Chains A and B, each alone.
Chain A
Amino acid sequence: AQSVSQHNHHVILSEAASLELGCNYSYGGTVNLFWYVQYPGQHLQLLLKYFSGDPLVKGIKGFEAEFIKSKFSFNLRKPSVQWSDTAEYFCAVTLLGTYKYIFGTGTRLKVLA
């Protein structure tokens, strides 16, 4: 079955630490890839997306993600996290030509001030 895996369920970091959250998917075809963030008490919002082109994608608030096709991965990174990055992060995938989004289970990030 098609799936999206986020292996880190809970991550705790100190401010200024570097962040990498893993995301792997199981589709064999061409995909569109997304990272969403949900801050406490707020809507889910799009952090960044990959449709095609440069596999290194830059998003809002200093986040970036790299699409590695051979590894079926789309990991999220930030060089230096801030307390305000405390949130839940969801990876999502759509298969080209479809519009159903498959979400991962989410990673809860807590940044200690």
Chain B
Amino acid sequence: EADIYQTPRYLVIGTGKKITLECSQTMGHDKMYWYQQDPGMELHLIHYSYGVNSTEKGDLSSESTVSRIRTEHFPLTLESARPSHTSQYLCASSDNKAGQYFGPGTRLTVT
């Protein structure tokens, strides 16, 4: 079944650690996105990609980086986690017709 997957679902990590949040989709979508969402708040776009080897920064300043080497995979990396990175991270993909499909999210806590 076509879907979008995120791992891990929950992560608690210490300050200064490097982490990678995984996102994969099996829908063949060209476009993929990373959002940051605090509880009860709006979604903030932090990175997006229109296709392989194409990545752009979003509207929210972020210390993370992304890569898009394969169509289905769009990992997000934090080189040095800080408590201010504590949030929920949502991955999404889209085609030109149907809007965005969202993954279940990764809830990150940096201690």
Tally of chain B residues near chain A (CB < 8 A): 24
A14 at the B interface (CB under 8 A): no
Interface membership of A43, Cβ < 8 A: yes
The distance in angstroms between the C-alpha atoms of A36 and B50, with both chains bound, is 21
Cross-chain contact B50 with A99 (CB below 8 angstroms): yes
> Which of A19-27, A71-79, A104-112 sits within the interface?
A104-112
Instruction: Give chain B nearest CB distance to A57 CB in angstroms.
Output: 12
A43/B102 in contact, CB under 8 A: yes
Residues of B28-43 whose CB lies within 8 A of A: 31, 33, 35, 40-43
Q: Which residues of chain B have C-beta atoms less than 8 A from A88's C-beta? A: 40
A83 in the interface (beta carbon within 8 A) = no
Please state if A43 and B48 are interface contacts (CB–CB under 8 Å).
no
Please tell me if A56 contacts chain B, counting CB pairs below 8 Å. Answer: no
Q: List 10 A-B contacts (CB under 8 A).
A: A43-B102, A44-B100, A45-B102, A46-B100, A49-B99, A92-B99, A92-B100, A99-B31, A101-B94, A102-B45
Taking Cβ atoms with an 8 Å cutoff, the residues of A that contact B are 34, 36, 43-46, 49, 51, 88, 90, 92, 99-106, 108
